[in-house]
Structure formats: structure tokens, C-alpha cells
Structure 1
Amino acid sequence: MRRYTTLLIVAFLLVVVVVTGSQQLAGSGHVEDGVTMRELTVYTTLPAEHVAEFAAAYEKKSRVRVTFVPLAGSDLIERASKNDPTVALVLADAPTLEELTRRGKFLPYVSEETDAVPEHFKQEEGAWTGVWYDPIVFAVNSDYLRTLKVVPDTWQALAQSDARVGMTDFVAADAASNLLYSLISQFGEVQAFAILRDLHPHVVQYTKYLSNPVRQVGMGEADVAVAVASETMRYVADGYPIRIVYPADGTAYSLGGAGILAAAGEGDRQAAGEFIDYLLSDDAQTALQSQGFYFLTTNPMAFAYRQFAGKNIVLFQQKPGFSEEQKKDFLDRWVKYIRFSQ
């Protein structure tokens, strides 16, 4: 009898060790409906509505509960720099990721999915990987397009056309100001400001929100909008008469990516890596698009990428690595000499 009792005790202890070890490898979690749910905490600069849907989809698919903590870029950098072991991942804009890389806060991560991402969409040593990007495009009213013999498909051509143009004020949104800095970085100050000066008389309105120039084109209030692709695709999906033209001489883009924090526990790092791979998948794209968010995947192996009509879009390769003081000077000059010039 004593022999069987000893065997039962040993078996029980083995089960405890296996369960405990599995939970440690899989990250922290809790039991829900009799199933152990893993948990993953993520700092992000994305709005809560952008991340809630695919977090729910991922939880259903992988039994991992993802908790997002939305923060402004500077706040996220400060929080991530405190080395909290309960936070495993950062999902943020490229400048935020680059600053955290400079501070040595990321653990490099490479998988089959991240390895497929083009080099210009990720940190060269694997500290973070871009998962989506949002280029600036020309959203053209379909009726206006039919009147044209030659479509303005470069920045200079648009500036010299007779089109009524809608665009977002450079001071109003980061994606808009990034266009200003990118034009200057790509073409140089003189040519960039010359393009914007020629474009200015055709601008119907400098709007405060990224969506409004596209709405203007869809309603026939403008002929062409200089707009982010995500907003343009949303209006196209809603049936507005809009065609997308990708600038042949290149365009600016915003990039969002993810990096695993080095301070996180081993199990949480594993869960974070699996989530990065998910963000690069078609499942994540489907979840986003079901909520009207049309960011472009950076993964050329994804079906969504292969189906994207503009997959050969030309992107500016010169990164606008200007200081905050330089950026302020560029904005001030644009406001003074173009936006409110006589």
C-alpha cells in the first residue's frame, strides 16, 4: 500500500512540475472556462479602436489575451525604459521604435515571417519589424479622371495641373507633416518648397483631419486629394467614385512596427514573438479591414500583399532624419511663405 501511495505522490508532483513549467514557458495567464489563457501586455501608440478588433480575433484563435496600453510616443518611451517585466511588446510608429532601439530596450527577434519583410521596413539587426505601412497617394475623383488625357502621376505634374486639390494641413497631423519632411529629404529644400508653392493656389482647403480631403474628392468638392492610403481605401470600399494614383516619382509613408522588450520574461517573449508573426498574417489584415482600417502589410508572402494593386509602389528611400528644431523651422517656413502667403 505504501508503495502505491509513494507512486501517486511522485505522479502528482510530476504533473505539478509539468503544468508549472508549461505556464512559465507560455507566459503569465489565468484560467477561463477551464482553459488556461495566456496574457500579453503591449504598449502601443495606435488608437485603441485600431487594435481592439484584431486583439479579440487573436484571443479567439490562440487563447492569448492581449492587453493594449495606448500611450503617446514620448510617454511610451518613458514607460518602456523602466524595464517592467510584465510588459513584453511595443507596437508603435517607427520613430518611437527607433528611439527605444537607441536605448537598447529591444531583444532582436527573427522568424520566417519577419525574415520575409523587406529591409527598409525593419531595423537591420532585428530589434523591431515593421508590420504595416500607410503611404501618401493621390486620390482622384473618377469623373475628373475621365476628362484627362494625361494623369498627373508625379508631384511636379500635380503641382502644375489644373486640378482642385484637397490636403491636410501639415501642422494638423503627424502623417501630413511627415510628408513635408519626406519631400524635403527626397528632393531637397529648394525643389520641395517649389513644388508646394506651385501646388498651393490649387488647394481648395487645408483640412484638419486626414479623412476630409478624401471625402472632398468623393463628394466632387475637389478633383484630387493628397491623402493617406488607409483613408482613401476606406472610402473606395464604401463605394465612393475614387481612383488611387501612386506617385511615380515616389511617396512618403508612415510605418508601424513591433519590438520585443528585453526586460520581459522568457515566456512572455515567446508569446510576443508569436503575436508579431500574427500581425504579419492575413488573419490580422482581415480583422483590421473588417473594422474599416486599411493599412498595407509589409509581408510580401501574405495574400493581402499579393492582391494589392499597388504592390510595386515607389517609396521614398531617403528617411527624414531631421532634428525637432529643423522640423519646426520647415513648418514655420511653410506656414509663413506658402500657407499664409499673400
Structure 2
Amino acid sequence: MRRYTSLLLTAFLLFILVVAGSAYFAGAKHEDKTRPLREIVVYTTLPAEHASILTNAYEASHNVRVNFVPLSSGELLKRLQDQAEAGEQGAVSMVLADKGTLDKAAVAGFLVPYLSEAGDQVPENFRQRDGYWVGVWYDPIVFCMNRDYLLTLSQVPDTWKELAVQPNVRIGVTDFLAADASANLFMSMLAQFGDVATYDIWRQIHPKVVQYARYLSNPVRQAGMGEVDVAIAVESEVIRYMQGGYPLKIVYPADGTAAMITGTGIAFKAKPADAVAAKEFANWLLSDEAQQALQKQEFYFVPTNPGTLAYKSFAGKNVLLFDQPVQFTDKQRHDFLDKWVKEIRFQ
């Protein structure tokens, strides 16, 4: 009897061990599926909303968490400088930022060159020639025209000079002092046309401006509501309103336009394992999957990778962009804007 009881007890204990072991391994397996295998830190000048969309989509498909740190251009460059000057490898592994910030980071030695098969497909005007940064998408400035207004025209103005001399037109534009994309347009025109011609264009446009908006979306909304006839605006906002049913049409400036280019760079002194993960994320940003994640949330940027379906679907992929580099110093930028404010904006 005692022997029989002992056997039952042994069998019961073995059963408990098997069940506990199964539960442990099942839990560990489940944890592996839900917990990211890696985490990387990325400094970015993107709005927090864009960063959130990208990190959620990438984590869901690649099991890697991207910890974005939103910063201004100046703050981002200062942190990269601190990491570059540190005596050990740093935490940040990648930068996702505007072209201007990436150019400064590359010149200062805060980035290391990297070019992948996907990055090699990107046209040269959207990447640094030595591979220190690669553009992933861009957002050009366009003429956003109200469709009812278009019906009144015998000829559509499709250059900056034609728009400037267009009679009886109401124009909406974002203040150059309020948004980077708007300031970039002004600086790009100065580099492309020269200061005399650029100031002349804006002197003629100014009396027709109904309102200098604070946000990039406002001129597009005004055009959609018929409050202005033409909005000078970023294409992404125009497409978003068109998707919402607003009666708008995009006209691409035939004499060229500016664009905000967003790109990636691998940080100097990034930890080797983190740098590998960052390169994989950089390649993903050049994919259709990244574009789909943004477009699902109504953010429409033109991809730089011509091998993607998203690129082929954009009518604006053949827009003529200004080809003169914008290489003004901070003082020159300040002086140009100061002159615009004093001689045009408040005249």
C-alpha cells in the first residue's frame, strides 16, 4: 500500500513538473513574439505624429522598436556633436531628418557613409554623393487651384512669374516665418532666380495674398472652400484635402519649385549591433510598406525610390525641382527674411 501511494505521489509530481515546464516554454515563446528583439534610438526632425506611425508599423512587421527622439535641427546637431566627442559608443544609431540638417551633420562628421541596394536606386539629387545620407521621400511646393476658379481661365498660370502677374486672383500662402517648408521655398527661389527676381515676384504676389497663414494646411483649406483661388502649398496637404473631396487641382510650376526632402543617416559612433538594425530600418523606409503606413493615416509624400509601386502612382514624381543648392549662412537667411518682412510683408 505504501509503495502504491509513493508511486502515485511520484507520478503526480512529474505531472506538475511537465505542466509547469510547458507553461514556462509557452510563455517564453509568447514573450518572444510580443517583445521586440531590439531597440534603436533615432533622432528626428519629423513631427511626433509621423514618427509614431512609422515606429508602430515597423515594430509590428519587424519586431524591432524604434525609439524616436523628436528634436529641432539645432538640438539634433548638438546631441550628435556630444556623441561624436564622447570617448565611447553612443546610444543614438540613426538620424531621420530634413536635408538641411543632414547636410550639416555630414559636413561636421557626425554621420558615416552607407548605401544599400535600395538606396543606390535613389536619384543623385535626393542623396549625398558619398553616401552620408539618403533621401526617403520629398514634399514639393505646388500651385493648388480651386476648380471653379480654373473654369474662369482661358490660360492657367503655371510659372512663378505668370502667377505673380495674374490679374484678379486671390492667393493663400503660409508665412515664411511660420513653417520650414515655406521658408525653404523662399530660400530656394533666391538661390535659383537670384534676389532681384525673387523679391520682384513676391512684391507682385503680396497684394493678392488674402492671408499669410500660420500652418501649411490653411491655404489648402482656403482654396478648397473657395476663400482663395490659388494656394501655394505643399503637395501632401493638397492630396489629403483632395482625398477628402475638396474641389482642387494641382498645377506643378513649369519653371521649377522647392521641396522638403527627408532622409536617413547612420550616426557616427553608433554601437555595431545598433548600426546594423538602423541600416535595416533605413532600407525599410525606402519600401512600399513604409509609404503604405503613412498613406493609411493620410500623409502623402513622394517616395525617392523609383522601384516602389508608391513612386509609380504619384503624378508629381516628374515635378521639376530647382537645381541650385541653397548654401546661405544663418546670417544671410536672417537678412533675406528681414528684407522681405520690411519691404514686402508689412508694406
**Kept after mapping to 2: 8 A contact 1:165/1:204:** yes
Partner AA of 1:118 in structure 2? P
Sequence identity, in percent? 54
Q: Which residue of 2 aligns with 1:65?
A: 65
Spell out the pairing of 1:1-342 with structure 2 (5 A cutoff): 33-35=31-33, 37-83=37-83, 85-162=90-167, 163-341=169-347
**Kept after mapping to 1: 8 A contact 2:172/2:219:** yes
**Kept after mapping to 1: 8 A contact 2:302/2:316:** no
Shift of 1:231: 1.1
Bigger share in helix: 2
Shift of 1:262: 2.4
Alpha-carbon distance in structure 2 between the residues aligned to 1:221 and 1:34: 55
Q: Deviations over 1:154-188 (max 9, x none)?
A: 00111111221000111111111111111111011
**Kept after mapping to 2: 8 A contact 1:258/1:276:** yes
Over 6 Å off, 4+ runs: none
Gaps of 5+ in 1: 1-29
Shift of 1:50: 0.7
SS, match of residue 55 in structure 2: helix
CA pair 270-32 structure 1, distance change in 2 beyond 3 A:
farther
Shift of 1:85: 2.3
Shift of 1:63: 1.0
Q: Which residue of 2 aligns with 1:19?
A: none
SS, match of residue 316 in structure 1: coil
What do you get for the CA RMSD once the two structures are aligned?
Answer: 1.4
Alpha-carbon distance in structure 2 between the residues aligned to 1:299 and 1:88: 22
**Kept after mapping to 1: 8 A contact 2:302/2:317:** no
Alpha-carbon distance in structure 2 between the residues aligned to 1:316 and 1:31: 53
- Bigger radius of gyration: 2
SS, match of residue 90 in structure 2: coil
Gaps of 5+ in 2: 1-27, 84-88
How many pairs does the alignment contain? 312
TM-score, normalised on structure 1? Answer: 0.88
**Kept after mapping to 2: 8 A contact 1:31/1:37:** no
Alpha-carbon distance in structure 2 between the residues aligned to 1:336 and 1:82: 38
Q: Deviations over 1:280-336 (max 9, x none)?
A: 111101101111211211111111111111211000011221111111111111111
Alpha-carbon distance in structure 1 between the residues aligned to 2:340 and 2:328: 16
